[in-house]
Chain A
Amino acid sequence: MAVETVHPLPSAARPGGPRAILRKAYLFTYLRGWLVWSSYRAQVGLTIVGWIVPVFVFFLVAVFLGAAGSSISALDGSSYIAFFVVGLAFQGFVSNLVGMLAQRIRSEQMMGTLELVFLSPTNPGAVLIYSSLFGVLLNLLSAVAIMVVGVGLLGVQLSLNLPTVIVATILLAVSSTGLSLVAAAFILWTKQGNPVALFFSTFTQFFAGVLFPVAVLPASIQWLAYSIPLTFGLDALRAGLLAGGSLVSVAPSLGYMALYAVITIPMGLLLFRWVLNRTKDEGTIATY
């Protein structure tokens, strides 16, 4: 009986390495991210307006209630404006990050490029991480824009500890990645509607100490606030931005965010992988 031998086929993928990683980061951030996003000019304008308007809304509310310039003990001595400016800047940063991967998957489904991206030798998990880079940068820009408005127009006084701000921002982004993966898995499966991002966006504004301190909440539900990393992130960022707090002084908050990331990212990746296999079984990767 004749036995057929397998013809060894060469791989078309070039070797990887740090330069290949940087190149892919550039391709996803600049070409796929910035060039596509900035080609929709109306969207660019409306997005910037969307960043800034809530700051003025809450400023006017604060003025109306007479709390604008006051220093409140529950706010650790910082003014209410400074409190909500930091809250809004970084709550927007995190809630956009949580919804962003899902949005990216949805847009690739609509454009028909999702199958082509998943057909390449780049691992789907890596594709998701590269895809999130542009969103991180864009949302960071929104946080900076809100802070600039706060400092330049609303008189927020900064007492900056840069290492604390940098480390807290990175950990806040990383600790949101697990939820972002869960939201991406959800949209890959259901195609429309993203309850994870929607719930996170509304839920955190209320519970995470964005517009008022967690201490104001009834004691019986304060644990909810401390089950989400944004609460700890905002504590650390307010300390680093408004009170010159050192890394050591915010170490417990940073530790919690790191722990949250270590637990939720593998869970998010596993869930995404499971959903990807399910859509591959159903043949619905590219349907929308």
Chain B
Amino acid sequence: MGLSIEVRDLTKRFPGSRPFPWSPPGRDSVALSGVTFDVRPGEIFSLIGPNGAGKTTLLKILSTLLLPTSGVARIGGADVVREESKVRSRISLVTNSERSFYYRLSGWENLRFFCGLYNMHEQDLRERMQPLAETLGLTEAVLARAYRTYSTGTQRKLQFLRAFVLDTPVLFLDEPTSSLDPVSAEEIRRVIATECRSRRQTVVLSANNLVDVERLADRVAMIHRGRLEVLGAPPAGSGAQPIRLFVRAPTPTVLAGLEEFARGGDPAEPVRWEIDERAGGSVVRCWTRDPRATLPGLLESLWQAGVRVEQVDLRPFVLEEEFLRRVDEAGPEPEEVPG
């Protein structure tokens, strides 16, 4: 199968600022370093990473809005630097900013303007828009209103309507559900899942909301300190599997329950565990060869010890866990190192 997006050894360095022309330049900041990945046609590829990790920088380079320092990025074979006009006719961008339309124009007038930049005729726009606007709940009355009167959810829906009407083969989504209430966020996820899948649109989704990523992405890559790594579940049968519990109880009580469970277990199959204190409770991770067989006894021991178990997760790969583990392992940002 061919590739929609190819990125090879992409690096972006921002020069350090200087307060006056004669001042020595400040330290360069490296936003991306040697980033390499591919995205296949119709795939939803997600980028996660801490704030400031380089996700938006990468999306801006792929959208031709930012120049890379070195490396190559191609959209459908067209280079984002040398063939930017070709690239721009193949992509659209949905951002988390409400400042992406003219406030004084209505939704319909905004669509006419932005789709007109792609040479789209008004009649063509009307025909394409109708079924999509219905799906998004954007009625004619809503589209006739000034954009400045829209709620955040409606503003975001108008961005999706613009992107779907343009029907570009590649769609970049930058935090599509941020600052939306749970109902609107779910609506947006449903739209992405149905519309992008049915069009076989290639999507690069940058998200801090890991629910979006878990529900929508085919593959996930994490960017941290400018480096990108594609994440995935460990291969099945590779040894002990995790049981992840969210519990509410003081740590000594949780430990007592776990020790009680270990005493009654098979000495040939020891259970390994760790406890992480989190806001409002603790996360307990136990590794065992057979989670399904281990779980009832483990829950019973914890319950007997007085521990309230609120969540049980048997998935071999939990994105949030992986995210936190990698950020913890990397330690604080160099600027944040005390002393």
Residues of chain A touching chain B, judged by Cβ–Cβ distance below 8 Å, are: 4-16, 20, 23-24, 27, 31-32, 35-36, 39-40, 111-113, 115-123, 277, 280-283, 285
With an 8 A cutoff between CB atoms, is B130 at the interface?
Answer: no
Asked if residues A121 and B105 are in contact (CB atoms below 8 Å), the reply is no
B116 to A, closest residue via Cβ: A27
Asked if residues A35 and B76 are in contact (CB atoms below 8 Å), the reply is no
Asked if residues A285 and B2 are in contact (CB atoms below 8 Å), the reply is no
Asked if residues A36 and B104 are in contact (CB atoms below 8 Å), the reply is yes
**13 A-B contacts, Cβ less than 8 Å apart?**
A4-B2, A4-B6, A5-B2, A9-B41, A9-B90, A20-B119, A36-B102, A111-B102, A112-B99, A113-B99, A116-B93, A117-B117, A280-B66
List the A side residues contacting B121 at CB < 8 Å. Answer: 14, 23
Interface residues on B, range: 35 or more
List the A side residues contacting B167 at CB < 8 Å. Answer: 12
With an 8 A cutoff between CB atoms, is B272 at the interface?
Answer: no
With an 8 A cutoff between CB atoms, is B85 at the interface?
Answer: yes
A118 to B, closest residue via Cβ: B65
Asked if residues A35 and B109 are in contact (CB atoms below 8 Å), the reply is yes
Q: Mark B113-155, 1 if CB is under 8 A from A, else 0.
A: 1101111110010000000000000000000000000000000
List the B side residues contacting A116 at CB < 8 Å. Answer: 93, 100, 114
A24 to B115, CA, bound (A): 10
List the A side residues contacting B75 at CB < 8 Å. Answer: 9
A9 to B, closest residue via Cβ: B76
Asked if residues A4 and B89 are in contact (CB atoms below 8 Å), the reply is no
Whether A12 touches B169, Cβ cut-off 8 Å, given contacts A31-B112, A113-B99, is yes
Asked if residues B77 and A8 are in contact (CB atoms below 8 Å), the reply is yes
A27 to B101, CA, bound (A): 14
With an 8 A cutoff between CB atoms, is B38 at the interface?
Answer: yes
With an 8 A cutoff between CB atoms, is B55 at the interface?
Answer: no
Asked if residues B101 and A6 are in contact (CB atoms below 8 Å), the reply is no
A41 to B113, CA, bound (A): 22
Contact pick for B170, options A5, A9, A15, CB 8 Å: A9
Asked if residues A119 and B64 are in contact (CB atoms below 8 Å), the reply is yes
A122 to B60, CA, bound (A): 18
With an 8 A cutoff between CB atoms, is B88 at the interface?
Answer: yes
With an 8 A cutoff between CB atoms, is B303 at the interface?
Answer: no
Whether A7 touches B76, Cβ cut-off 8 Å, given contacts A39-B104, A121-B85, is yes
Can you list the 9 inter-chain pairs with the closest CB atoms, starting with the nearest?
Answer: A112-B99, A9-B76, A7-B2, A120-B117, A6-B77, A14-B119, A11-B89, A13-B89, A121-B89
Asked if residues A120 and B105 are in contact (CB atoms below 8 Å), the reply is no
New A-B contacts (18) at CB < 8 Å, excluding given A31-B109, A35-B104, A122-B117: A6-B76, A7-B77, A8-B2, A8-B76, A9-B169, A12-B167, A24-B116, A31-B105, A36-B105, A111-B103, A112-B99, A113-B100, A113-B102, A119-B93, A120-B118, A121-B118, A123-B85, A282-B15
A27 to B77, CA, bound (A): 32
A11 to B120, CA, bound (A): 12
Contact pick for B116, options A23, A35, A285, CB 8 Å: A23
A24 to B116, CA, bound (A): 6
A36 to B, closest residue via Cβ: B104
With an 8 A cutoff between CB atoms, is B92 at the interface?
Answer: yes
A35 to B4, CA, bound (A): 39
With an 8 A cutoff between CB atoms, is B168 at the interface?
Answer: yes
A39 to B146, CA, bound (A): 11
A35 to B76, CA, bound (A): 38
List the B side residues contacting A10 at CB < 8 Å. Answer: 90, 169
Asked if residues A121 and B102 are in contact (CB atoms below 8 Å), the reply is no
List the A side residues contacting B103 at CB < 8 Å. Answer: 111
List the B side residues contacting A15 at CB < 8 Å. Answer: 119
With an 8 A cutoff between CB atoms, is B156 at the interface?
Answer: no
List the A side residues contacting B11 at CB < 8 Å. Answer: none
List the A side residues contacting B86 at CB < 8 Å. Answer: 11
Contact pick for A14, options B4, B15, B120, CB 8 Å: B120
List the A side residues contacting B60 at CB < 8 Å. Answer: 283
With an 8 A cutoff between CB atoms, is B74 at the interface?
Answer: yes
Asked if residues B4 and A13 are in contact (CB atoms below 8 Å), the reply is no
Contact pick for B6, options A6, A8, A35, A36, CB 8 Å: A6
List the B side residues contacting A13 at CB < 8 Å. Answer: 89, 118-119
A123 to B105, CA, bound (A): 23
Whether A16 touches B2, Cβ cut-off 8 Å, given contacts A27-B112, A35-B105, is no
Whether A112 touches B76, Cβ cut-off 8 Å, given contacts A9-B170, A119-B88, is no
Within 8 A of A (CB), among B218-259: none
Asked if residues A12 and B90 are in contact (CB atoms below 8 Å), the reply is yes
List the B side residues contacting A281 at CB < 8 Å. Answer: 66-67
List the A side residues contacting B46 at CB < 8 Å. Answer: none
Asked if residues B99 and A111 are in contact (CB atoms below 8 Å), the reply is yes
With an 8 A cutoff between CB atoms, is B217 at the interface?
Answer: no
Contact pick for B113, options A27, A40, A282, A283, CB 8 Å: A27
B165 to A, closest residue via Cβ: A12
With an 8 A cutoff between CB atoms, is B282 at the interface?
Answer: no
Asked if residues B65 and A115 are in contact (CB atoms below 8 Å), the reply is yes
Whether A31 touches B90, Cβ cut-off 8 Å, given contacts A4-B3, A5-B2, is no
A24 to B113, CA, bound (A): 8
Distance of A109 from chain B, by nearest CB (Å): 10
With an 8 A cutoff between CB atoms, is B57 at the interface?
Answer: yes
